[in-house]
Structure 1
Amino acid sequence: MFNVIRFLKIFAVIFVSLVDCFENDYLDLEGYISQSQESGRNEIKKILQPVNHFDAQDTRTWNMTYIQNLEFWKPNGPIYINIGGPFPYEVQNNIFKKGFFLYDLVNETNGALFGSEHRYYGSTTPLNLTKTDNLKYLNSQQALADVAKLIKYVKSMLKAENSKVVVVGGNMDGNAGNLAAWMRLFYSDLVDAAVSASGAVLAKADFKDYYETVGENFLKYGTPGCYDKIAKLFNKFQTLLSTPEGIKQLKKEDDICDFVDMSKKENQQIFFSKNLFSFRIFSAIANDADYFKVVCEKNFNDTSIKSKLPQSKSDHIAKDGQDWCNNYDFDFNFNTPTKFPLLYQMCTEFGSFPTTEEGKHPFTNGVPVEYYYKACKVQFGPEFGKNRIEDAVKATNEMYGGLHPNVTKVVFVNGEFDPYRKLGVTENLSDDAPAFVIANSGRAGLLENKDSKNKELIEAKKKVKSLIKKWIGL
């Protein structure tokens, strides 16, 4: 059987969820990427992009990394662009492998395959991350313009002016699925069809539905009584944090750093947020209901303090030169010189803060939306508070259309286990903008998982391939 716990230990190191952790754990890839480093048939390339696409007077540029695979290319074949999310380009490696949806579609249609790296999240950035003002060029409009320029360039490079272009977006976190749909909305002259996998197209500040979905997954698919054991564990945390004696016990049992004042509500909120991290992972990566049973069997046979999924060392700091302790200090986590780009986009465009203050779930009320509002202000400045966030969310929905974007030839695909489907299109918008929810599948399962025994996933891949081929005239 697949070793889920071992996978999570590895995955937690590279999976950056600033929604919960907000830690600067991005891989340092400086100097690692060469101009044309090859991995199999994939070539790593660079394209010069403007820092600001919408100001002709601003001549600053930066090098955006992209992946190129031409092994199946035939003249006038379709061009596929996989849009990157908030990770370095290496996270896209799977989709460039045999057996995965996009690679196989490219093979079947004699296409060219490219993968773009999102500005500010990869090996190079337009500007450094130490000043909030440098992040003003990090937004979905600039990212869409990056993809548009890449499309124009590769069509010229391949001498393929008549080739159809398909954009695909979907990853374990972030907004790639949104961008794929929005490319058809804003650049329909360049993009002929799009696949939006797990695209959270609706911006929403207080995303209280998130952990309700996570709880539903464990209630429906976990072992009998698992949901109640999870609830008992989080209630135990809450009870211990309510008294000095309980805090002392919790700090000892959970190896919390001595200097962290766990009576402060902000530090308690970070504690809950980080202890929810593993539940986020499982609802994202699960492509089989048995995943939840395995989690329950491995981790929730009792409700001791150790009945938690493992955390990575990134959640700790050195103590006495050898040991490690959990650092849940709010200022340590947020008042840092380097700014967190994913948090910036959440604070200025998307919101989507997963909260536990309301809703039916087993995780208590330890993470209110105010926790995220304060994080935005501490990280980026006092003006980045509740009012600005709510105004930004409203503006994003007005610009792109929320759950009803005015698009055609876009297929929206969500996974049953994915909490972000609550922010996605799950019902057909029209005959040319259909939607699928794949049973027994997690986030971006269409793109991230090989064909398995999941009949629903296999069938969804067939349907989406058929739609794309029809839309590009094959």
Structure 2
Amino acid sequence: MASPVFPLQAYAGNLDQVYLVGGLSTMLDRLLLLFFASPVLGALVSEPPPPTPRSPAAPVLAWLPVRLNHFDASNNDTFQMRYYYNDEFARTNNIVIVLGGPWTISPDWASGGLPHQLAEEIGAGLFYTEHRYYGQSRPTGGTSVPELRYLSVDQALGDLAQFIQHVQSDQFQGGRFRGGQVALAGCAHAGSLATWMRLAYPHLVSAAFSDSGPLLAHDEFAEYLEVVWEAVRAQGGGACVATLDLALERLFAETLTQEGANRVSNMFNTCSPIEGTNPLDTSTFFWRGVLEPLARLVQSATPGDIASACEVLTDPNVSKPTERLAKWVTSQQWAQPCLQASYTAHLAAHTNTSYDAPHSVDRLWMYQSCVEFGWHQTTASFNSFHNAVALPYFRALCRQYFTEDFDETLQWAGIERTNLLFGGVTYMPDAVVSVVGGHDPWWPVGPNATHATHMSPVYVVSGGSQCRVIRSTGESETQQVEVVKRAVLLNMQQLLSGKPPTHVSSAAVVCSPLAIILIIASLTFVL
């Protein structure tokens, strides 16, 4: 059987932190709507879709000079770090900071989303910071290998530490935020940064909220595609998974010869013929042309998205699984006017060292993957096409994006360093509220319910994708997501008040709907 056996540690072993909501009465639904209507962050390299604006206030764009190297006192070089600031709720000296990840920040996340609601609840100033090297926060003139030496997690955390010290100083608006509580929030990689910031600078950060933040640096991340397949099976059905299994098995066999590779090229409308004799070319086709689109579908899915894709993938009017897969892939907007599956073209696009190059962000993230995280998403778990995208492909990318020095030894050293500095999932710092989606392909390298502690709850949204909880209440796809959002707001307010967070068990939610109302109502009595 091509589909993998799912060998990962089950997060369902401890359901105390998992919200399961169902069977609510019509009257209760109406009560919840009243509460919910009231006012109260594929890849990890794109900003989460903008939340619905909650107010007309326009965030202010500002810049702060921060140190280029936080760990060399003799280096006084600085660069301009960009951020947005919204003071519409700032009636106290508290601040909420939304962390940017590997993307260009926009004002939207300073105008809406769950952090915006938290700022309103605690009367805080709201900030949205940009990650060094990404967006317009550019420490160097380009992204050549020597210029990337300051792109690391610990340097990014140093930026945030300097930013917090500045906002709490007299230099910022006369010291209006001096001595206040500091709350961080982020999703995807920005969620990881929020957790690590609380771990590295507990004297500066009072509480942190991480939505879908991976924590364990991991070289070969075959589990990623395992979750993709499980999500497709659960939301799209067994026939959809069977189509993927058969299609990929046959495509892999076809690309072993140039004649077969030519047929695949025609079927998927590639921009240039796939070189069947070049494993780098065939792996580029499988990853960029087939598996990455599936990963993107699952990672950002809302209810119905996977089922809609599976309608195409199981279309009875198209007899061959390969043709059904090609029909779905070639219908995507990003595959127009043709599918770029050439390794040579891919390499040329990603070795451009200009910040303004179209694939600059991908290059920057690949650098961090090669020297800090790994997270190489291979097909090793699949018997019939396990070599379609193998680890040597990513080893080659690291060497050829950068230099031959970026070999396996360097990558392993970077992964070990990251886990040594931040503990992977072996240690959860206090005062961190974590959320993970059960169908987010990144969950195997993030916290799950078994990692929860008395002071750091972990909520698993069953069937959820990435970054669904950081959005505002009232715009949730399911009741479960809505309830988890309310729990996060409550927990963050409790932690900022010096109180332990309330853990609501699945039993309390399912068996006693009144408990949900009590959680929501308690939000107004925390501070």
Q: Which bin holds the TM-score, normalised by the shorter protein?
A: 0.7 to 0.9
Q: Would the alpha carbon gap of residues 18 and 162 (structure 1) be closer, same or farther in structure 2, given more than 3 Å must change? A: closer
Q: CA deviation at 1:62?
A: 1.1
Aligned residue number for residue 349 of structure 1: 372
Does structure 2 retain, via aligned residues, the 8 Å contact 1:18–1:343?
A: no
Aligned to 1:439: 462
Question: What is the total number of aligned residue pairs between the two structures?
Answer: 428
Stretches of 4+ moved more than 6 A in 1?
A: 311-316
Distance in 2 (alpha carbons) for counterparts of 1:330 and 1:18: 22
Structure exhibiting the larger radius of gyration computed from Cα positions: 2
Q: Residues 311 and 343 of structure 1: is their aligned pair in 2 closer, same or farther, counting only changes over 3 Å?
A: farther
Of 112, 117, 124, the match for 2:137: 124
Normalising by structure 2, report the TM-score: 0.76
CA distance in 2, matches of 1:43, 1:363: 51
Summarize deviations over 1:274-314 as a string: whole Å, max 9, x none: 111221112221243x3221111144424215333358777
SS in structure 2 opposite 1:48?
Answer: strand
Aligned in 2, Cα 1:291/1:267: closer, same or farther, shift over 3 Å? Answer: same
Q: Quick one: which of 220, 241, 244 aligns to 1:227?
A: 241
Separation in structure 2 between the aligned mates of residue 117 and residue 453 of structure 1, nearest angstrom: 28
Native 8 Å contact 1:300 1:307 kept in 2? no
Q: Which runs of 5+ in 2 are unaligned?
A: 1-40, 48-55, 354-359, 498-526
2:272·2:342 contact (CA, 8 Å) conserved in 1? no
Aligned to 1:462: 486
Question: Is 1:89–2:111 an aligned residue pair?
Answer: no
Name the counterpart of 1:22.
none
Whole-angstrom distance in 1 between the partners of 2:446 and 2:222: 15
Matched residue, 1:57: 74
Q: Distance in 2 between matches of 1:282 and 1:141?
A: 31
SS of the residue 2:102 aligns to: coil
Query: SS of the residue aligned with 2:469?
Result: helix
| 1:72 Cα deviation from its structure 2 partner | 1.1
Change (3 A) 1:131 1:311: farther
Matched, 1:415 2:431: no
What letter is aligned with 2:342?
Answer: D
Give the TM-score normalised by structure 1.
0.84
Secondary structure of 2:326's counterpart equals coil
Residues 310, 327 of structure 1: alpha-carbon distance in 2 compared, 3 angstrom cutoff? closer
Secondary structure of 1:446's aligned partner: coil
Amino acid of the residue matched to residue 134 of structure 2? Y
* Equivalent position of 1:198 in the other structure: 212
Alignment of 1:319-398 (within 5 A): 324-335=337-348, 336-338=351-353, 340-359=363-382, 365-398=387-420
Q: CA separation in 2, counterparts of 1:337 and 1:102?
A: 36
Say what the alpha-carbon RMSD is for the aligned residues.
Answer: 2.5
Is the contact between residue 230 and residue 363 of structure 1 (CA under 8 Å) also seen in structure 2?
no
Aligned pairs for 1:146-225 (under 5 A) are 146-156=159-169, 157-158=172-173, 159-171=176-188, 175-225=189-239
Q: How does 1:68-107 map to 2 (within 5 A)?
A: 68-76=85-93, 78-90=94-106, 93=108, 95-98=109-112, 100-107=113-120
Alpha-carbon deviation of 1:161? 1.3
One-letter amino acid matched to 2:101:
G
Aligned to 1:276: 291
Pick from 41, 59, 62: which aligns with 1:42? 59
Gaps of 5+ in 1: 1-14, 20-24, 27-38, 317-323
Conservation of the 8 A alpha-carbon contact between 2:217 and 2:415: yes
1:244 Cα deviation from its structure 2 partner = 2.5
The amino acid that maps onto 1:138 is: L
Within 2, Cα distance between the matches of 1:106 and 1:41? 15
1:331 deviates by 3.1
Find 2:256's aligned residue among 242, 246, 260.
242
**SS state at 1:309 partner:** helix
